[in-house]
Amino acid sequence: MRLILLGPPGAGKGTQAAQLVERYGIPQISTGDMLRAAVRAQTPMGLEAKACMDAGALVTDAVVVGIVRERLQQQDCAQGFILDGFPRTIPQAEALKGTLTALEMPLDAVVSLQVETNALVERLTGRRTCRNCGRGYHIRFDAPAKEGVCDACAGDLFQRDDDQAETIRHRLEVYHQQTAPLEDFYQAESLLKKVDGMAPIAVVQQQITALLQVI
Ligand code: ADP
Ligand code: AMP
């Protein structure tokens, strides 16, 4: 299963990807997670990406295309993968197409999560992430048993720097300008599957798995 999860920031891509990883045993490739790891490790790429990420802007196509191309060639992607947060621009989508053609690994589907803007803002402002294992939560919609503490590993939960109201607004603008056109791109490739992302987390997961059964 080779899949792209498409959708604006806060649509639920990471949440759904984590459950698909469990279900299908294939890796999640999140460019956001990879870039945040590079920032933490203070690699040259991380240092370059940090300013863009803090501002809610996109990191350059060349950087993200490079990290995804390398990642896709690792052994654990041979049985499939779930791309989360990539591609985000038409040039990224074109580059991905070239890479996957060369690797003889065509995509099976592009699942686009449809969520209203007001809900995105509420989801992003309430998002919390475990500092230790990376598991995602929401203070209202997916709350941990104990406030501020991860259910899975007891790590402490933090709020991402770019999940502040002002940065969120900019990220949503960037999405509409640069990423939304990918729906037409993948529609033209007959790969696009739209899913109602407004439903509860478990219902969205059911919708995705139902459509993956028939592709
Ligand atoms: P993305 O990866 O698309 O940016 P996330 O998966 O991190 O989005 O989800 C953003 C926030 O919204 C998280 O706090 C998550 O718990 C919450 N969330 C995800 N899906 C839903 C849903 N279907 N209903 C309500 N909240 C959701
Ligand atoms: P995310 O975790 O997907 O919300 O991504 C967090 C931030 O990482 C984004 O706001 C961008 O600055 C950067 N980023 C992640 N994926 C990409 C991508 N495919 N292209 C450019 N920038 C990206």
Tens-place pLDDT, residues 176-199 = 999 999 999 999 999 999 999 999
Peptide bond into 91 cis (omega under 30): no
- 107-166 pLDDT, tens per residue? 999 999 999 999 999 999 999 999 999 999 999 999 999 999 999 999 999 999 999 999
Please tell me what DSSP assigns to residue 57: P
pTM, whole model, 2 decimals? 0.98
For residue 8 and ligand 2, the question of a CB distance below 6 A is answered with no
For residue 90 and ligand 2, the question of a CB distance below 6 A is answered with no
* Nearest ligand 2 atom to alpha carbon 87: 19
For residue 135 and ligand 1, the question of a CB distance below 6 A is answered with no
**Adjacent-strand bridge partners of 129:** 136, 158
User: How much distance in Å is there from the Cα of 123 to the middle of ligand 1?
Assistant: 6
pLDDT at position 202 is 98
> Which residue among the candidates 88, 128, 135, 193 is catalytic per the annotation?
88
Average pLDDT over residues 23-40: 97
Phi, psi for 178 (deg, rounded to 5): -110, -30
pLDDT at position 95 is 98
Q: Say how far apart CA 24 and CA 28 lie, in whole Å.
A: 11
User: How much distance in Å is there from the Cα of 58 to the middle of ligand 2?
Assistant: 6
CA distances from 111 to 9, 80, 173, 192 (A): 14, 15, 21, 6
User: How much distance in Å is there from the Cα of 31 to the middle of ligand 2?
Assistant: 6
pLDDT at position 127 is 98
Q: Say how far apart CA 3 and CA 84 lie, in whole Å.
A: 9
Q: Catalytic residue at 13? A: yes
pLDDT at position 170 is 97
**Angle made by CA atoms 155, 68, 169, in degrees to the nearest 5:** 65
Q: Catalytic residue at 140? A: no
Pocket test for ligand 1, best of 15, 19, 118 (most atoms within 8 A of CB): 15
Tokens encoding 41: 């490790």
CA distances from 138 to 142, 149, 170, 205 (A): 5, 12, 21, 17
- 100-109 pLDDT, tens per residue? 999 999 999 9
CATH numbers and ranges of domains, the chain: 2-26+79-116+178-213 (3.40.50.300)
Ranges of H-type helices in 7-83: 13-24, 31-41, 44-55, 61-72
Q: Catalytic residue at 23? A: no
User: How much distance in Å is there from the Cα of 102 to the middle of ligand 1?
Assistant: 33
Q: Measure the CA dihedral 53/34/205/162, to 10°.
A: -20
pLDDT at position 37 is 96
pLDDT at position 44 is 96
Q: Catalytic residue at 88? A: yes
Average pLDDT over residues 73-89: 98
Q: Catalytic residue at 171? A: yes
